[in-house]
Amino acid sequence: MCARYLHNLSMPRSTQLLHKPNNPVSAAMHRAGWLGGKEARYMAHEAPFGELTLTCPDGQMLHRLDWVTDQPVLLLKNVLRLTAPNPGVMTGPGTNSYLVGDPNTGYAAIDPGPADTEHLDRLWRTAGGNIRYIICTHSHPDHSPGAAPLQAMCTQHRHPPPILGLASHASARAHSAFTPDRELEDGERLLLQGNGVTHTLRVMHTPGHAANHLCLVLEEDGLLFSGDHVLNGSTTVIDPPDGNMNDYMQSLEKLLDACVQYHIAFIFPAHGYVLGNLWGEPHDARACISHLKRHRLQREAKILKVMQQHPEASMDDWVKLAYDDVPPRLWTVAMRSLLAHVERIRTFSI
């Protein structure tokens, strides 16, 4: 692992080396890593670029990009990623579970994922059993079912780690039912402390993908754990009634504000590689979120045009026209977000 830290209190720990004066790598047009045992190079617009920038800011070619489920991936000295073995159309390479902390402070487990015994055992063993919080960004079945069995494994402490998050709403589908031990409040801070070190996770309620969705900011490092609100390589599905497009757009604005307030440079999504780059550069965390916002608005404009041109057409007709740039095999999934856009358009037209 080649990420290092300089003691500069003016910026997050994750970006201190990146802002080292006269660092020639900061202006590089590509980043290199290993994929399939071979050297792989990526430009700023490509999915692995942000992760390579985070893990190897000096430009050394040390980070491996292969998706693995049998071992943790070190992203920073206080953040590890373990990917669940549930790849698919809706989950990409699988659900990313994150461990935040260190052996002295204990760990917060973010999105334990499905109730997969081997995956949960790897989470527990990687943390040395020292898990202080289990946090679910939302209640979907690829994120929260692993929480209770992971909690049951944590017998190291007198009191098991609490399962935290927001309870699923009545609008959630049956397979997304979720009740945490305690509900988190918007703006609440969760602390991991030990040996003079503190890791602070700030809670942000970000409905849209799900009514009970939340994101987490690791304040000291300028990192955003975005759950399914911001993904790498695809846009998230907004599935009414629990999903709401207007809420989603407002939550994107909230995250843009948070990027400035907490100097967020990198985004850790629940699916895909780390997003983001140097603070102030064209491909930073704010640019990633702004791109998502533009994409949604462009899609909405296209849907509105289709609705105006074909007012008597069915939803099946609309999805074929509004998502003609998407493979037909994905139209069933696109139909959910189409409905969310149509609801938003009709709300604003009243």
pLDDT of residue 283 exceeding 70: no
Domain boundaries, the chain: 64-280, 300-349
Instruction: Take residue 33 and report the two structure tokens written for it.
Output: 């890593």
Q: What is the pLDDT of residues 68-117, one digit of tens each?
A: 999 999 999 999 999 999 999 889 999 999 999 999 999 999 999 999 99
Share of the chain above pLDDT 90, in %: 81
Q: What is the pLDDT of residue 23?
A: 41
pLDDT of residue 22 exceeding 50: no
Q: What is the pLDDT of residue 246?
A: 97
For residue 134, the cross-strand partners are 109, 163
Candidates 3.30.1490.20, 3.60.15.10, 3.40.190.80, 3.40.50.170; CATH matching 64-280: 3.60.15.10
Token pair 């970006």: residue: 15
Q: pLDDT band for 349, please (50, 70, 90 cuts).
A: confident
For residue 110, the cross-strand partners are 98, 135
Q: What is the pLDDT of residue 48?
A: 92
Q: What is the pLDDT of residue 233?
A: 84
Spatial separation of the C-alpha atoms in residues 292 and 234, rounded to whole Å: 9
Cα-based distances in Å from 103 to 125, 196, 234: 12, 12, 34
The mean per-residue pLDDT over the stretch 185-213 comes to 97
Cα-based torsion angle of the residue sequence 233, 166, 123, 234 in order, rounded to the nearest 10 degrees: 0
- The pLDDT mean for the chain works out to 90
Residues whose CB is less than 8 angstroms from the CB of residue 346 and which lie 6 or more positions away in sequence, other chains included: none
- Quickly list DSSP for 87-114: -BTTTBT-PEEEEEEETTTEEEEE---S
What are φ and ψ of residue 325, in 5° steps? Answer: -95, 5
CA within 13 Å, CB half, 200: 12
Q: What is the pLDDT of residue 67?
A: 97
The mean per-residue pLDDT over the stretch 236-247 comes to 96
Q: What is the pLDDT of residue 267?
A: 97
Residue 268 in contact with residue 79, Cβ under 8 Å?
yes
Q: What is the pLDDT of residues 115-164, one digit of tens each?
A: 999 999 999 999 999 999 999 999 999 999 999 999 999 987 778 999 99
Residue 234 in contact with residue 92, Cβ under 8 Å?
yes
Q: Which residue spans within 38-165 are E strands per DSSP?
A: 38-43, 73-76, 79-83, 96-102, 106-110, 131-135, 163-165
- Candidate from 53-67, 198-212, 240-254 with smallest mean pLDDT: 53-67
pLDDT of residue 2 exceeding 80: no
pTM for the whole structure = 0.91
Q: pLDDT band for 224, please (50, 70, 90 cuts).
A: very high
